[in-house]
Structure 1
């Protein structure tokens, strides 16, 4: 066990008196994880997210600009669809950047949990942008099927396809890596979106190859395939954002939290554990059972240690509300007055 943890049971050899002093001090002064440490961590996570978005936005806009020039030269609707997709992917950085910036604000009496859920609102805009790019790409492909047209500068179309693939794959790796490190599901989803864009860029090569072999219809057909690929990305993005809006979490996180709480000295039982994402940070509500013979100060110390261990050991957790229930006396229902309200729903 790390010496950093101060459990109410062992007290690091300081005895009951110091436990009381520590608990009383905590009651009147903020816990270190509740103030500067959490603020600094949140600020650094948002700063990293903003850096990722700025760099990836520049890379994707540059790639889309190269592709747009070659679209004008070649008339390829497959490449047009890919270029539109890259523009849409670059634009998703804008609402995310705004959300990261807004999420830095401190909680207020109106927004008591802070502004982290701005990321979820940004996710809705991202889904809308992806849907618009799918509609534009599909319209261009269907129009070309109805009114066939030869594709020119096929070599340049192939070059543009490779530019799109390389740019998107680099951006995807960058976003996914940092998104996982800072706990931002929206950034990870955006990275997966970029990876899908990279593979649609490779599909443009098929259209160019088909046109080179004398099948000009291959270009709009690939354009339609790209539209279908965008729709799959749209489905996955909508599912991810929908889960976040519904406060879904990975069940493995609940299992991990239960293990951490149950192993805390002084915890005799674990009640409900609720986790929710607010932006790219986790928040928890935990119910524990403690000995009914404990004083209020000692029961509070157990709750404090439970929160302390959760913050240190559960990745991305920024805060926890721990409710301590006495384990007796036998036959006593300490929540009798709330029974009707809890079962009303």
Structure 2
């Protein structure tokens, strides 16, 4: 984990979320505010999410072993998928309860609601600042960051609602804000679910494969490229394998070509784990991507 995302920061964010949860639960019960109660449960989920993210990151940082030759980085992808999935489930539950409140309005004490919402907003804002930097480069941290950011935005909505309820006694504002926040949370969580699911299914990263083939064929003594495979170990690490046709060369002459290929793929395409299979004529006329249905022995 980056230095700015140390265990002490995660501990501080976790403690803040537990305190906010208790504070909002009490405030929600005293004021009768659904948006405060929903935010309290959301914060409780955040605290669990932060712990899960930290544990997953520690696991992801372990060295490769005989049983896990690519390491344990997928632990963070699993944590991100779980966190984002929980967010959507919570959002749906809140939206359903909010609709029930709209159909059957209940009285809300706007003054208590306002005080609790302001304190919660400041605490959530501080938590998001602590995790902001790591969220730019790590899906796991980004999922947790979105938990906290959505809570901060929910607190803003609750503050606005509390003001409207206190001044104009508009009770339907509380469940309406809950529905809006639930929609926003789901909207922000879906891309994480989509990306993590793609990584776990070993979907190919977005690369210019035709450009890669063209560039490799421009290297000296490379005559053809086929059977390309690419997959993501996590969101930052791409594994890549390729069959390369060359002249019948001794190994001492092939190895420098390998280094040229690895350097090109790393610097131009961001690929950091490359496996190359050199061939003379085998597969020379085959497609760029391997299709098992069309497989044949040369």
**Aligned match of 1:179 in 135, 140, 164?**
135
Aligned residues: 293
2:262, 2:274 within 8 Å by CA — same for their partners in 1? yes
**Aligned match of 2:116 in 157, 160, 166?**
160
2:154, 2:181 within 8 Å by CA — same for their partners in 1? yes
Number of the residue aligned with 1:232? 187
Number of the residue aligned with 1:72? 29
Question: How high is the TM-score relative to the length of structure 1?
Answer: 0.68
Question: Which range is displaced more, 134-143 or 85-94?
Answer: 134-143
- CA–CA separation in structure 2 for the residues paired with 1:290 and 1:296: 14
Q: CA offset at residue 299 of structure 1?
A: 0.8
Number of the residue aligned with 1:24? none
> For 1:181-330, what aligned pairs fall within 5 Å after superposition?
183-212=137-166, 213-248=168-203, 251=206, 271=226, 273-279=228-234, 281-287=236-242, 289=244, 291-308=246-263, 310-311=265-266, 315=270, 318-326=272-280
Q: CA offset at residue 75 of structure 1?
A: 1.8
Q: CA offset at residue 292 of structure 1?
A: 0.6
1:78, 1:226 within 8 Å by CA — same for their partners in 2? no
Number of the residue aligned with 1:11? none
1:260, 1:310 within 8 Å by CA — same for their partners in 2? no
The SS at the match of 2:239 is: strand
1:79, 1:204 within 8 Å by CA — same for their partners in 2? yes
- CA 1:309 to 1:50, structure 2 compared with 1: closer, same or farther past 3 Å? farther
- Where structure 2 has 5 or more consecutive residues not aligned to the other structure, the ranges are none
- CA 1:225 to 1:102, structure 2 compared with 1: closer, same or farther past 3 Å? same
2:73, 2:234 within 8 Å by CA — same for their partners in 1? yes
Q: CA offset at residue 334 of structure 1?
A: 4.6
> For 1:53-132, what aligned pairs fall within 5 Å after superposition?
53-132=10-89
- CA 1:269 to 1:46, structure 2 compared with 1: closer, same or farther past 3 Å? farther
Q: CA offset at residue 215 of structure 1?
A: 1.7
Deviations 1:312-334 (A, max 9, x none): 6665x5522123344xxxxx445
Deviations 1:36-86 (A, max 9, x none): xxxxxxxx5599475654443333333333323322332211111222222
Question: How high is the TM-score relative to the length of structure 2?
Answer: 0.76
- CA–CA separation in structure 1 for the residues paired with 2:224 and 2:66: 34
- CA–CA separation in structure 2 for the residues paired with 1:337 and 1:216: 68
- CA 1:224 to 1:173, structure 2 compared with 1: closer, same or farther past 3 Å? same
* RMSD value, Cα: 3.9
1:274, 1:285 within 8 Å by CA — same for their partners in 2? yes
Q: CA offset at residue 258 of structure 1?
A: 6.7
Q: CA offset at residue 198 of structure 1?
A: 2.3
The SS at the match of 1:131 is: helix
1:49, 1:178 within 8 Å by CA — same for their partners in 2? no
- CA–CA separation in structure 2 for the residues paired with 1:195 and 1:221: 19
- CA–CA separation in structure 1 for the residues paired with 2:158 and 2:124: 14
Number of the residue aligned with 1:34? none
> Is structure 2 residue 290 aligned with structure 1 residue 343?
no
2:225, 2:245 within 8 Å by CA — same for their partners in 1? no
1:71, 1:79 within 8 Å by CA — same for their partners in 2? yes
> For 1:41-56, what aligned pairs fall within 5 Å after superposition?
48=5, 53-56=10-13
Number of the residue aligned with 1:30? none
